[in-house]
Structure 1
Amino acid sequence: MSTARTVLVIGGGAAGNAATILLRRAGIAVDLVEAKDDWNATAGSGITLQGNALRVLRELGVWERVKESGFAFDSVGITAVDGTVLHVARDVRTGGDDLPATVGMQRPRLQRILIDAVRASGARVRLGTRATEFEQDADGVTVRFTDGTEGRYDLVIAADGIGSATRAAIGITDKPEPTGMAIWRVAAPRPAGVSRTDLTYGGPAYIAGYCPTSDTTIYAYVAEANRDRATIPPETYADEMRRLASAYGGHWTDILPHITDPAQVNYTWFDRMLVEGPWHRGRVVLAGDAAHCCPPTLAQGAAMSLEDALVLAGLLTSGREWDDALLREYHERRLPRVRTVVEASVRLGRWQLDGVRDADVPGLMGRVMTMLRELP
């Protein structure tokens, strides 16, 4: 292989952006293509980043900006439907004792920080562009794009999300499947006194919660059984979320008046997927949600994607040959850890759907979080 290695990254989300930054740091030429013209710079309300995600963000060199932009905390509260605090638990610092257990952030703010880091890395970025065809041989991949151009690469990293077209194009047939639950999310001003995530289990929704995302903002969410999207016109989203949330007391009484704009309310089904077999075909390899996805019941989706990028980039910059053995090692290192997170995340939701009253939720969460303290 030529020493002037070239990589195409498909998808400008957490995994794609992180892989680009790490590979460029090692001097590898990277093209990043993203289907959205705006690079997803305004999408989403909030995101919960636990310590193992923060550990990767520190490796990317953006931790200080994340810390300044988000809201750090080390505990989670369990409340009754009326808002009474029943229990406060210390969170496991999965990124190590020198990082907070959790940082809540506005999702667009995190994306902007990663975009800036990708731009600063010197990667060539093309927005509004999709990869459509892949022709592989022993030395690399020829890729054709929607704008009529083509490029030649030593490796392609498919980080194009849960509905990955690349995954299907290279013959991996796994697809996401709904778990039976859905979530309503909205950004809102931070009520005085909200300094951690609080969760309520029960009431008209299975889970109701909120997470501070800055000194002045939060994102709030309610999870229920999924409904046929066709029966929920987008113009009613605020009304639907407000109806569910109105049963909850405490800080919810301050949040409710801000659930008014249906365009600011997001409704999403919970899905699960785990590609058990190899995550690559030839020189095209999956990362992030293209390889696995899970409900946000453990708040580990972004963390798993960031860890994928860290492990894959570490192998690619280790001086080894970029061959089948290296990509198999990437899969072998990631699969057990990701499987644990996916299965636990699905089980937590399943317990809610099935009304299991004696479920050991704290025990399951504690075991997973303790495992995540280990380096990926």
Structure 2
Amino acid sequence: MGASGADRRVLVVGGGAAGNAVAILLRRAGVPVDLVEAGADGNASAGSGITLQGNALRVLRELGVWEQVRASGFGFGSVGITAPDGTVLHVQDDLRTGGDDLPATLGMRRPRLQQILLAAVRASGATVRLGTTAKVLGQDADGVSVRLSDGSEHRYDLVIAADGLGSATRAAVGIADKPEPTGMAIWRVEAPRPAGVTRTDLAYGGPAHIAGYCPTGEDTLYAYVVEAHRDRTAIPPASYAREMRRLTTHYGGFWPGITAHITDPAKVNYTWFDRLLVEGSWHRGRVVLVGDAAHCCPPTLAQGAALSLEDAWVLAQLLTASGTWDDALFQAYYARRIARVRPVVEASVLIGRWQLDGVRDADVPGLMARTMTMLRELP
């Protein structure tokens, strides 16, 4: 293929963190990009809060959205470990995985992050189609034929599958890997932030394995409790607020004030923890996976969004630096990412397993420190 980015057309399937990021970076290099997202609102109403470590903020700065993110979120530099009654047992400084000129951690409302990223995609000149899905019809050595849900058919030099954990594109190109439940689940809700909450605090023990919260702005936080997963069909969505309150009423400190606001079941999210790590390669021909379509792990290290954003950064670097988009390039992308992603997935799953099994002498701080130290290096 020729070296000119403008000679190539790329389809990005999925408008989450990874899809939006890779679209922005490819457009910056002059590559024509179409982005399709199944959600009619571009995921702008999805989720409650998100914890972004420094290595995620480093990529957001590269995307040109860091100032908006900083203004919209709440940065902090430590995590508190508390007893279930709220007594602070230990405060640990967070490692600045994005470098010393960025906060160690920033919490923000997930819908706000989506709005910022989607606006940046539009401003980049990418063509955005919301409420749209894509189906790979076939491919050859030079490109991929795709049919969109509006019935139109298109030809692309590359399809980037950023369509998440249940990626239909991953399955369509013959990658059989599927997410597997880890045995844990999480309840999440957004609530007003008490003035004294200026960092993440985590309580281990009580009726849940973990009860925690993260400030997401001047007057908001998101709170969560982690427990062994239950049969989702046995928990009616109308009972979500009641079920989460049943767990959080056993925690002290700032929790009573938070629990008082867990009243609307529509604002409570219940999700199982899953594990996924596609091995061998993250591409088939000219279809390549990024983000949750390639890997996913429990949020015990809060690295999900960061790893997805790093995927986009690395893939865009390789694509824009090379005149040839071929198996060697995509395998180089996989090799760079798997060496970094695998230890995070394995550590995240192991921490959860230790909790489920009640392992009392587990070196959680040591494992976390080793993993986060690795993430300080550029991806």
Q: By how many angstroms is 1:132 displaced?
A: 1.6
> How far apart are the structure 1 equivalents of 2:78 and 2:328?
41
> How far apart are the structure 2 equivalents of 1:61 and 1:147?
32
Q: 1:310 aligns with which of 298, 309, 313?
A: 313
> How far apart are the structure 2 equivalents of 1:180 and 1:9?
32
- Answering whether residue 41 of structure 2 is matched by residue 46 of structure 1, we say no
- Answering whether residue 83 of structure 2 is matched by residue 80 of structure 1, we say yes
> How far apart are the structure 1 equivalents of 2:154 and 2:304?
31
Match of 2:343 in 1: 340
Match of 1:10 in 2: 13
> How far apart are the structure 2 equivalents of 1:67 and 1:85?
27
Give the unaligned 5+ runs of structure 2.
Answer: none
Q: For 1:97-112, what aligned pairs fall within 5 Å after superposition?
A: 97-112=100-115
Match of 1:90 in 2: 93
> How far apart are the structure 2 equivalents of 1:115 and 1:22?
13
> How far apart are the structure 2 equivalents of 1:131 and 1:55?
30
Secondary structure of 1:317's counterpart equals helix
Q: 1:276 aligns with which of 260, 276, 279?
A: 279
The code of the aligned residue for 2:192 comes to P
Contact 2:143 2:286 in 1 (8 A): yes
The code of the aligned residue for 2:119 comes to D
The code of the aligned residue for 2:203 comes to T
The code of the aligned residue for 1:274 comes to L
Q: By how many angstroms is 1:38 displaced?
A: 1.0
Give the unaligned 5+ runs of structure 1.
Answer: none
> How far apart are the structure 1 equivalents of 2:29 and 2:60?
17
> How far apart are the structure 2 equivalents of 1:40 and 1:55?
23
Q: 1:289 aligns with which of 292, 301, 304?
A: 292
Per-residue displacement from partner, 1:129-150 (whole Å, max 9, x unpaired)? 1112331111111111221101
Identity of aligned residues (%): 77
> How far apart are the structure 2 equivalents of 1:215 and 1:368?
30
Q: For 1:180-219, what aligned pairs fall within 5 Å after superposition?
A: 180-219=183-222
> How far apart are the structure 2 equivalents of 1:128 and 1:63?
27
Secondary structure of 2:366's counterpart equals helix
> How far apart are the structure 1 equivalents of 2:186 and 2:294?
22
The code of the aligned residue for 2:12 comes to V
> How far apart are the structure 2 equivalents of 1:150 and 1:318?
29
> How far apart are the structure 2 equivalents of 1:319 and 1:353?
46
The code of the aligned residue for 2:160 comes to I
- Answering whether residue 309 of structure 2 is matched by residue 301 of structure 1, we say no
> How far apart are the structure 1 equivalents of 2:362 and 2:351?
9
- Answering whether residue 37 of structure 2 is matched by residue 23 of structure 1, we say no
- Answering whether residue 349 of structure 2 is matched by residue 371 of structure 1, we say no
- Answering whether residue 167 of structure 2 is matched by residue 172 of structure 1, we say no
Q: Where does structure 1 differ by over 2 angstroms across 4 or more consecutive aligned residues?
A: none
> How far apart are the structure 2 equivalents of 1:321 and 1:338?
25
> How far apart are the structure 1 equivalents of 2:304 and 2:269?
17
| RMSD between superposed Cα atoms in Å | 0.6
Q: 1:236 aligns with which of 235, 239, 247?
A: 239
Per-residue displacement from partner, 1:192-214 (whole Å, max 9, x unpaired)? 21000000011000000000000
> How far apart are the structure 1 equivalents of 2:184 and 2:136?
35
The code of the aligned residue for 1:259 comes to I
Q: 1:37 aligns with which of 32, 36, 40?
A: 40
> How far apart are the structure 1 equivalents of 2:306 and 2:80?
22
Match of 2:133 in 1: 130
Per-residue displacement from partner, 1:267-300 (whole Å, max 9, x unpaired)? 0000000001110000000000000000000000
> How far apart are the structure 2 equivalents of 1:30 and 1:261?
39
The code of the aligned residue for 2:103 comes to P
Per-residue displacement from partner, 1:317-373 (whole Å, max 9, x unpaired)? 003311110000000000011001100000010010000000101000000010000
Q: 1:158 aligns with which of 161, 164, 167?
A: 161
Match of 2:143 in 1: 140
> How far apart are the structure 1 equivalents of 2:288 and 2:137?
12
Q: By how many angstroms is 1:235 displaced?
A: 0.3
The code of the aligned residue for 1:324 comes to D
The code of the aligned residue for 1:133 comes to V
Per-residue displacement from partner, 1:19-50 (whole Å, max 9, x unpaired)? 00000000000000111111110110000000
> TM-score w.r.t. structure 2 length?
0.98
> TM-score w.r.t. structure 1 length?
0.99
> How far apart are the structure 2 equivalents of 1:132 and 1:60?
28
Contact 2:49 2:110 in 1 (8 A): yes
The code of the aligned residue for 2:235 comes to I
- Answering whether residue 340 of structure 2 is matched by residue 352 of structure 1, we say no
Per-residue displacement from partner, 1:53-105 (whole Å, max 9, x unpaired)? 00000000000000000000000000001000000000000000110000000
The code of the aligned residue for 2:134 comes to A
Aligned residue-pair number: 376
- Answering whether residue 117 of structure 2 is matched by residue 114 of structure 1, we say yes
The code of the aligned residue for 1:177 comes to E
- Answering whether residue 246 of structure 2 is matched by residue 253 of structure 1, we say no
> How far apart are the structure 2 equivalents of 1:111 and 1:134?
29
The code of the aligned residue for 1:131 comes to A
